[in-house]
A and B are shown apart, each in its own frame.
Chain A
Amino acid sequence: MHVTSPVREPLIQGGKTYADVTEDICRHVEATPTKEWKIAFGLSLIVLAYGSVCLAWTWWEGLGVWGLNKTVGWAWDITNFVWWVGIGHAGTLISAILLLFRQKWRTSINRAAEAMTIFAVICAASFILMHMGRPWMAYWALPLPNAFGSLWVNFNSPLVWDVFAISTYFSVSLVFWYIGLIPDLATIRDRATSKVSKFMYGTFAMGWDGSAKTWARYEYISLILAGLSTPLVLSVHTIVSMDFATSVIPGWHTTIFPPYFVAGAIFSGFAMVQNLMLITRVVYKLEDYITLEHIETMNKVITLTGSVVGVAYITEFFIAWYGGVEYEYYAFFNRMTGPYWWAYWAMMTCNVISPQLFWSRKLRRSITFTFFISVVVNIGMWFERFVIIVTSLHRDYIPSSWAMFSPTRYDIGDYIFSFGLFFTLFLLFSKYLPVVNMAEVKAVLRSTSAQLPAKIAGVAKVRQRGTAEPVYNKDQE
Chain B
Amino acid sequence: MAELSGKYLVGVYDDDDTVLHAVPKLRKAGVKIKEVYSPFPIHGLDEALGHPRTRIGIAAFMFGVTGCCAVLTLMIWTMGYDWPMIIGGKDPISIPNYIPITFEGTVLFTAFGMVTTFLISNGLGPGTHFHPRFDVRATDNKFIMAIEMSRNSMSEEEISRALKDSGAEEVNIKQF
Chain B contact residue count (CB 8 A cutoff): 66
B-contact bits for A154-167, CB 8 A (1 contact / 0 none): 11101011001100
CA distance A18 to B119 in the complex (A): 26
Whether B115 pairs with A175 at a CB distance below 8 angstroms is: yes
Task: Identify the stretch in B24-32, B125-133, B151-159 within 8 Å (CB) of chain A at 4 or more residues.
Answer: B125-133
Q: Which residues of B contact A108 (CB under 8 A)?
A: none
Partner of A143, one of B60, B74, B121: B74
Whether B82 pairs with A152 at a CB distance below 8 angstroms is: yes
Tell me whether A217 is interfacial, beta carbon within 8 Å.
yes
Partner of A215, one of B41, B78, B94, B129: B41
B-contact bits for A4-28, CB 8 A (1 contact / 0 none): 0000000000000111001000000
Partner of B75, one of A155, A168, A209: A155
Q: A152-B79, A207-B131, A218-B41 are in contact. Are A446 and B16 (CB under 8 A)?
A: yes
Partner of A213, one of B35, B39, B79: B35
Whether A211 pairs with B141 at a CB distance below 8 angstroms is: no
Q: Which residues of A contact B82 (CB under 8 A)?
A: 146, 152
Whether B115 pairs with A221 at a CB distance below 8 angstroms is: yes
B-contact bits for A102-126, CB 8 A (1 contact / 0 none): 0000000000000000000000000
Tell me whether B65 is interfacial, beta carbon within 8 Å.
no
Whether B101 pairs with A206 at a CB distance below 8 angstroms is: no
Tell me whether A277 is interfacial, beta carbon within 8 Å.
no
- Nearest CB of B to A35, in Å: 29
Tell me whether B42 is interfacial, beta carbon within 8 Å.
yes
Q: Which residues of A contact B130 (CB under 8 A)?
A: 202
Q: Which residues of A contact B39 (CB under 8 A)?
A: 18, 22, 183, 187, 210, 438-439, 442
Q: A164-B100, A211-B37, A212-B35 are in contact. Are A232 and B1 (CB under 8 A)?
A: no
Q: A179-B118, A217-B118, A446-B16 are in contact. Are A17 and B141 (CB under 8 A)?
A: yes
Tell me whether A1 is interfacial, beta carbon within 8 Å.
yes
Residue of A nearest to B111 (CB): A172
Q: A155-B78, A217-B56 are in contact. Are A22 and B101 (CB under 8 A)?
A: no
Q: Which residues of A contact B38 (CB under 8 A)?
A: 210, 212, 215
Chain B 52-110 residues near chain A, CB threshold 8 A: 54, 56-57, 60, 74-75, 78-79, 82-83, 85, 87-88, 90, 94, 97-98, 100-101, 103-105, 107-108, 110
Residue of B nearest to A439 (CB): B40
- Nearest CB of B to A164, in Å: 4
Tell me whether B122 is interfacial, beta carbon within 8 Å.
yes
Chain A contact residue count (CB 8 A cutoff): 71
Partner of B97, one of A155, A214, A439: A155
Whether A216 pairs with B51 at a CB distance below 8 angstroms is: yes
Q: Which residues of B contact A152 (CB under 8 A)?
A: 78-79, 82-83
Tell me whether B170 is interfacial, beta carbon within 8 Å.
no
Whether B60 pairs with A217 at a CB distance below 8 angstroms is: no
Whether A156 pairs with B94 at a CB distance below 8 angstroms is: yes
Q: Which residues of A contact B127 (CB under 8 A)?
A: 203
Whether A221 pairs with B56 at a CB distance below 8 angstroms is: yes
Tell me whether A368 is interfacial, beta carbon within 8 Å.
no
Residue of A nearest to B97 (CB): A156
Q: A171-B112, A203-B126 are in contact. Are A210 and B139 (CB under 8 A)?
A: yes
A-contact bits for B132-143, CB 8 A (1 contact / 0 none): 010011111100
Q: A190-B140, A206-B119 are in contact. Are A220 and B57 (CB under 8 A)?
A: yes
Whether A182 pairs with B14 at a CB distance below 8 angstroms is: no
Q: A165-B100, A186-B139, A190-B136 are in contact. Are A172 and B94 (CB under 8 A)?
A: no
- Nearest CB of B to A386, in Å: 26
CA distance A186 to B88 in the complex (A): 54
- Nearest CB of B to A461, in Å: 12
- Nearest CB of A to B142, in Å: 9
Whether A232 pairs with B74 at a CB distance below 8 angstroms is: no
Whether B41 pairs with A216 at a CB distance below 8 angstroms is: yes
Residue of B nearest to A23 (CB): B140
CA distance A189 to B131 in the complex (A): 13
Whether B126 pairs with A217 at a CB distance below 8 angstroms is: no
Q: A146-B83, A217-B122, A457-B15 are in contact. Are A164 and B40 (CB under 8 A)?
A: no
Tell me whether A338 is interfacial, beta carbon within 8 Å.
no
Partner of A209, one of B54, B57, B138: B138
Residue of B nearest to A146 (CB): B83
Tell me whether A466 is interfacial, beta carbon within 8 Å.
no
Whether A224 pairs with B35 at a CB distance below 8 angstroms is: no
Whether A213 pairs with B122 at a CB distance below 8 angstroms is: yes
Tell me whether A456 is interfacial, beta carbon within 8 Å.
yes
Residues of B participating in the A interface, judged by any CB pair closer than 8 Å: 1, 14-17, 35-42, 45-46, 49, 51, 54, 56-57, 60, 74-75, 78-79, 82-83, 85, 87-88, 90, 94, 97-98, 100-101, 103-105, 107-108, 110-112, 114-115, 118-119, 121-131, 133, 136-141
Known: A221-B114, A235-B100, A242-B100. 4 other contacts (CB 8 A): A156-B88, A189-B129, A212-B36, A212-B46
A-B CB contact pairs (8 Å), 27 listed: A18-B140, A151-B85, A152-B82, A155-B75, A155-B78, A172-B107, A172-B111, A179-B115, A205-B129, A207-B1, A207-B124, A210-B37, A210-B138, A213-B122, A215-B42, A216-B51, A217-B121, A217-B122, A220-B57, A221-B118, A231-B103, A232-B104, A232-B107, A439-B40, A442-B39, A446-B17, A453-B17
